[in-house]
Structure 1
């Protein structure tokens, strides 16, 4: 049973999926009186044994604490649960750790403001088992005063990885989507590479160490390319886009010859060829940023 610290502020957690359970457990571990609610009350069993209070309704859960943390499947679920009890949110701080878009985050901030609640939108860059450890990073965006008011409580989720971004409520979601874009890009490239090597009976576990080295080497480009992107100047200090095009053609041909999917290498080549057509043949690879901006526009 948890012993609550006299100075620890109460907190409510709405939503007890794997992540919600991890959030509530972390608050309890730091001695915070923790109220929980979930549509399926059975998921609260271990938390109640550890000292959490299971609320009998969303309304009573919200009213139990000055800080309400919600982590559910999507923003439709957030509103489905909280719209009917909106009056109870007045004067409280709502921290939403549900994954969504920056537009949804900003719209929800306006909704919360209309109810008289402070709203902080957050993003979790960690697996449930990392919550409450040094491995967890959580991003927050919204009124700085609201964040600072509850910062000590939120640090229970990731003390060294509690990051405040800005007053713009949409930034946490935007960072989240950007990080996921990098993750999927890296993972898809690894899977394509593993498929290539599998044609020569090289196991993915054998390739993994070299793949990790390649990922780390590629990461070294990030700072240099970031500066070029911000300055809108793309000197080719390593290789030109034209040089990359040559390598991409080889990758496409190799994939075709070995019967491996050509979707990814074909996308690489088409993107680089568009950059060449736009006059960036002798620039660095960072010049392809204009292709991504162009598609978004």
Structure 2
């Protein structure tokens, strides 16, 4: 029989987690602070706990998916010693480490995780969740956790690392998406539709941007920034043009203005002959 699981928090993500556990055959107990969200899950075979204490004392792994870490002190303070808690709540590395420290004082085994997916992707074979915490606890429950993410990755004993990976990657996503939206806004000022630009944006991402990722990561680690055939001081002209066209077309120039400022700062510090990777030094100076 599959291992039992308790899911605390039934927002969109928590509900998706519970459905995935149920779908994989895990007896699943659910609880939500605000009542009325468990009906569909109960109809699918879940058991709704009468209150938080009942949920925390149900058998099996306890999976927490809340808005933030604020309730964790109370929750962990009521969790029985010897239980294992996996927190899949978005927060800072320090919040995760604080929760782990509190859990340790209570004799609770604690893992922290970061979900790199939307609710519709939960349960998929490639879905990625990062985990941190005691290796023995992760190994004990790895098979159960595979029900919600086939691409789960254990980062090591530091419970804060999943949050570090999360914020780094989600920031990358937001900036990339915002850059695309800026481009779409500019194109629209000349009556170019998004669907017309789409195939070239997709090819640009695959052929130009994706190959840059390992190069920039290596440069960030080494502190060496070769020009790659396009020196930073030469690229500045195109950046100024981006800002100028944005203004003239009535598109918010905050993105190109910021890039110009960082680039000029690095050129002043002698990085003009180098490559785009040197901009990380300007970001590190913040």
- TM-score w.r.t. the length of structure 1 is 0.93
| The 10-residue stretch of structure 1 (122-131 or 232-241) with the greater mean CA deviation from structure 2 | 232-241
- Give the aligned CA root-mean-square deviation in angstroms: 1.3
Specify the alignment match of 2:133 in structure 1. 142
* SS of residue matched to 1:200: coil
Task: State the Cα distance separating 1:66 from its structure 2 match.
Answer: 3.1
CA distance in 2, matches of 1:264, 1:225: 20
| Alignment length (residue pairs) | 285
* SS of residue matched to 2:153: strand
Specify the alignment match of 2:176 in structure 1. 186
Specify the alignment match of 2:28 in structure 1. 34
Deviations 1:7-56 (A, max 9, x none): x1111000001110110111111111111001233211111111111100
Match of 2:39 among 42, 45, 51: 45
Task: State the Cα distance separating 1:209 from its structure 2 match.
Answer: 2.1
The structure with more helix, counted as a fraction of residues: 1
Deviations 1:110-148 (A, max 9, x none): 111111111111011111111111242111011111111
Match of 1:197 among 187, 194, 201: 187
| Superposition misfits of 4+ residues, deviation over 3 angstroms | 77-80
Q: Does 1:236 align with 2:227?
A: yes
Task: State the Cα distance separating 1:87 from its structure 2 match.
Answer: 4.2
Matches within 5 A, 1:242-253: 242-253=233-244
Specify the alignment match of 1:69 in structure 2. 63
- TM-score w.r.t. the length of structure 2 is 0.96
Q: Does 1:209 align with 2:199?
A: yes
8 Å Cα contact 2:53-2:78 kept in structure 1: no
8 Å Cα contact 2:72-2:99 kept in structure 1: no
| Runs (5+) with no aligned partner, structure 2 | none
CA distance in 2, matches of 1:186, 1:77: 33
Match of 2:156 among 166, 169, 175: 166
Task: State the Cα distance separating 1:89 from its structure 2 match.
Answer: 3.2
